[in-house]
Amino acid sequence: MRRLQVKSSAGEYQVIVGRGAWRALRQLKGYTSSFVLTEPGLWTKWGEKFSTDVGWKEVRPILIPSGESSKSLTMAGRVASELLDRGADRKSFLVALGGGVVGDLGGFVASTYMRGIDYAQAPTTVLAQVDSSIGGKTAVNIHAMKNLVGTFCAPHMVVSDADVLASLAPRAFQSGLYEAVKHSILSGPALFKWMEGNVVGLQASDTAVLEQLVARAAAVKVDVVTRDEREAALRRVLNLGHTYGHALEEATGYRRFLHGEAVAWGMLMVTRLAELAGVLDPAVGKRIVNLVRAVGPLPELRGIKEERVLGLLIRDKKAVGGKIHWVLPEAIGKVRVTPDVPEAIVTTAFREVQRGVWNG
């Protein structure tokens, strides 16, 4: 079991990674009642283990349909109503047991129910364990835009049980590994090398290796959000691969790519962009490409219109104050955040990766 310490404006909290991490929820004291928010499929698989681990009596979960459409204000209102019906008060505790959707929605509900109750993240995917469960960003989607409405609200605790990853579908599993790759690029040679040595052929059932991977990749996120909780500047480095990635997801209606897959394509494109901008040695670019490719096959980019992607990049630009903050890799462990990238090479990088004419 590894314990990472996160500092936030609301105080410190721990990210506990490893087999049996859920048992840390037994330490909770002073709450009038506790609730768990999750999805039906997850509860079927893991409800009994969860109940045993946390030691609560007769755990009756609050269930939401699986899938992104549950990340809505309507669903947040329904969960709040159910909490009220079941007697939750200001001193109640909520556990969000699931992937990014449950975590983002659960965090949003916890941060707004009676103006805020304490909550824990119990992430069940690689993506959520290494990334989205840490840092206190909560969100719901508004029809017009993903994550348009949300809060910064640190969890009381993050408990990442490695055993639960074994039941992930291969594609969901790999999607999460791409975010771990991203963290290794940000982190430096040690973690990057470790990833190069361990990612090839990695399976969801390789619990011991995954426990290490999650702990090491989560530590990168912990370090960044501790130094910049509110995304003033530093936290932007976490957007490596996400600028193109978000545009790819949106251009394909969020149907073709899992989030990590879009980020993987985005990392390839931004690696090429960094080379074209003259800030990245192609030999290092090649290593990044190889590590991304080593995770597994990616859905094709075929048919995605260049103009559409560029249009979405510009819309994203508006959303962040008039500038695209490109996160360009300069070396393993070093990125440059800059708005000054000529549009021509932004297009070229996209085009070369899409057409497969550049591959590191």
Contact set for its own copies, span 146-185 (CB under 8 A) = 148-152
Contact assessment for residue 109 and residue 79, using Cβ atoms and an 8 Å cutoff: yes
Q: Which of 23, 27, 28, 13 is nearest to 222 (CA)?
A: 13
- In this structure, the dihedral spanned by the alpha carbons of residues 133, 139, 264 and 253, taken in order and rounded to 10 degrees, is 150
Which helix (DSSP H) or strand (DSSP E) does residue 51 occupy?
A: helix 40-54
- Between residues 2 and 325, which has the closer beta carbon with respect to its own copies? 325
| Integer Cα distance of 37 and 119 in angstroms | 10
Q: Is 203 in the site for its own copies (CB under 8 A)?
A: no
Which amino acid type is present at position 309? V
Annotated active-site residue 239? The verdict is yes
Q: In Å, how far from its chain's centre is CA 178?
A: 10
| Interacting residue with its own copies among 5, 44, 81, 205 (CB under 8 A) | 81
Cβ 107 to its own copies shortest distance, Å: 11
Cα(40)–Cα(38) distance, integer angstroms: 7
Per-residue DSSP letter, 236: G
The 18-37 contact track toward its own copies, x by CB under 8 A, reads --------------x-----
Which of these ranges, 133-141, 261-269, 271-279, 298-306, lies near its own copies under the rule CB under 8 A? Answer: 133-141
Is 139 near its own copies (CB under 8 A)?
Answer: yes
- CB under 8 Å to 158, separation ≥6 — which residues? 6, 13, 14, 15, 16, 120, 121, 122, 123, 133, 134
Q: Which stretch binds its own copies (CB under 8 A): 80-88, 182-190, 219-227, 305-313?
A: 80-88
Decide the pairing of beta strands 11-17 and 2-8: antiparallel
Site for its own copies in 304-343 (CB under 8 A): 318-322
Quote the least distance from Cβ 338 to its own copies, whole Å: 19
What is the smallest separation between the CB atom of 318 and its own copies, expressed in angstroms?
Answer: 6
Only one of the segments 137-145, 178-186, 242-250, 271-279 lies at the binding site for its own copies (rule: CB under 8 A); that segment is 137-145
Is 233 an interacting residue with respect to its own copies (CB under 8 A)?
Answer: no
Are the C-beta atoms of residues 264 and 298 closer than 8 Å to each other? yes
User: Stretches 138-146, 179-187, 270-278, 283-291: which one binds its own copies (CB under 8 A)?
Assistant: 138-146
The catalytically annotated residue of 71, 239, 249, 352 is: 239
Whether 246 is catalytic: yes
Find the helix packing angle between 170-187 and 282-295, rounded to 10°. 150
Interface residues with its own copies (CB under 8 A)?
A: 9, 32, 73-74, 76-77, 80-81, 84-85, 87, 89-91, 111-116, 137-139, 142-145, 148-152, 318-322
